[in-house]
């Protein structure tokens, strides 16, 4: 039973491939149109994923600068250290004394003469704090907590750019969802019309099949395979377009990176994302074919 079922599906599958190859220009144009259509939301998704990864690397260990009051005592410094050691939101911290800060200032180009003429050290003792979590809400909460400590004069941390970046990523994901929805409807419409034309072309063949007792599922099967294969080919085309586009962009980014002395490379689609793209495109092709068959096949009856 299972063997017969597999043989039937295998026969229909290879018959559908043969029909696709028999009309190479039409099939190729349909696949290219689907591939370009799918590559648009895929491209935005890849851009958002790379931007998210870059921001994650940048903020993997977000830092805050804690400037202590100028009249601070050693006991107060130890008290601040103890509080930070007990705070679970602080990953690590480093103490920089006012003398060490002044020495670094004296080593700076163009500032040695200025620092040498100072009557006293105007710099405060400071801590460089690495936060455990990099979300804007947690960072702002930690900043407010440390700012309330009596030994702290000022906590410096610019969280506005992180909030803007998260808002941009959220907008990008919404754009991906919107593009995917709209262009998926377009692909389903393309496949719907393609299968409709095939059904009309094979009207006589369908009528004869029904006369000799063929079931609707048997008649429907080749059209569903046709839509699925074309959808899968469209997804593969979109994947190829994105792979070549990212490779070309990385070459240009490499030239730009050399000028500014930094390393920046866009990452390709991950294996799981690639499989998801292929399965989704195949499902869109199947769905368009299924709707078209359900809408037109019942209208054809033997005369």
Are the beta carbons of 267 and 49 closer than 8 angstroms? Answer: yes
User: Based on the domain organization, do 67 and 133 belong to the same domain?
Assistant: yes
- How much is the mean pLDDT over the chain? 79
Q: What is the pLDDT of residues 14-49, one digit of tens each?
A: 777 777 777 778 888 888 999 999 998 988 888 888
pLDDT class for 277, splitting at 50, 70, 90? very high
User: Based on the domain organization, do 111 and 203 belong to the same domain?
Assistant: no
Look at residues 156, 178, 204 and tell me which one is the last residue of a structural domain: 156
**Distances in whole angstroms, Cα of residue 213 to Cα of each of 53, 184, 204, 208:** 58, 36, 15, 9
User: Based on the domain organization, do 73 and 133 belong to the same domain?
Assistant: yes
User: Based on the domain organization, do 243 and 176 belong to the same domain?
Assistant: yes
User: Based on the domain organization, do 86 and 190 belong to the same domain?
Assistant: no
Q: Give dist(CA 57, CA 54) in Å, integer.
A: 5
Q: What is the pLDDT of residues 177-215, one digit of tens each?
A: 898 899 999 899 988 888 888 888 777 777 777 777 767
Question: Which pLDDT belongs to residue 219?
Answer: 76
User: Based on the domain organization, do 80 and 214 belong to the same domain?
Assistant: no
Q: Which domain holds residue 256?
A: 2-57+163-299
Q: What is the pLDDT of residues 248-258, one digit of tens each?
A: 888 877 777 67
pLDDT at 280 over 90: yes
pLDDT at 58 over 60: no
Count structural domains, the chain. Answer: 2
pLDDT class for 77, splitting at 50, 70, 90? confident
pLDDT at 112 over 60: no
Q: Give dist(CA 63, CA 130) in Å, integer.
A: 5
Q: Which two tokens stand for residue 42?
A: 């895929």
């Amino acid at each position: 039973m299972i063997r017969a079922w597999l043989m039937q599906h295998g026969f229909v599958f290879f018959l559908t491939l043969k029909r696709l190859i028999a009309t190479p220009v039409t099939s190729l144009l349909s696949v290219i149109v689907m591939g370009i259509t799918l590559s648009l939301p895929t491209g935005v998704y890849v851009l958002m994923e790379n931007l998210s990864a870059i921001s994650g690397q940048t903020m993997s260990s977000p830092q805050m600068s804690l400037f202590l009051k100028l009249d601070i005592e050693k006991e107060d410094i130890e008290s601040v250290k103890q509080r930070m050691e007990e705070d679970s939101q602080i990953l690590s911290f480093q103490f920089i004394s006012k003398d060490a800060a002044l020495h670094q200032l004296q080593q700076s180009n163009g500032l040695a003469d200025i620092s040498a003429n100072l009557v006293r050290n105007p710099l405060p003792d400071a801590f460089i704090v690495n936060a455990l979590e990099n979300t804007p809400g947690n960072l702002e909460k930690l900043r407010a907590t440390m700012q309330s400590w009596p030994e702290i004069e000022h906590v410096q941390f610019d969280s506005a750019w992180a909030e803007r970046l998260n808002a941009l990523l959220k907008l990008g994901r919404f754009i991906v969802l919107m593009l995917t929805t709209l262009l998926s409807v377009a692909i389903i419409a393309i496949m719907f019309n393609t299968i409709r034309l095939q059904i009309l072309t094979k009207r006589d063949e369908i009528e004869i099949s029904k006369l000799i007792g063929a079931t609707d599922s048997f008649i429907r099967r080749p059209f569903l395979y046709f839509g699925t294969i074309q959808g899968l080919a469209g997804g593969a085309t979109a994947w190829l377009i994105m792979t070549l586009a990212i490779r070309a962009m990385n070459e240009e980014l490499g030239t730009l990176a050399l000028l500014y002395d930094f390393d920046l490379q866009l990452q390709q689609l991950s294996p799981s994302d690639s499989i998801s793209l292929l399965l989704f495109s195949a499902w869109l092709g199947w769905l368009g074919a299924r709707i078209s068959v359900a809408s037109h096949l019942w209208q054809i009856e033997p005369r």
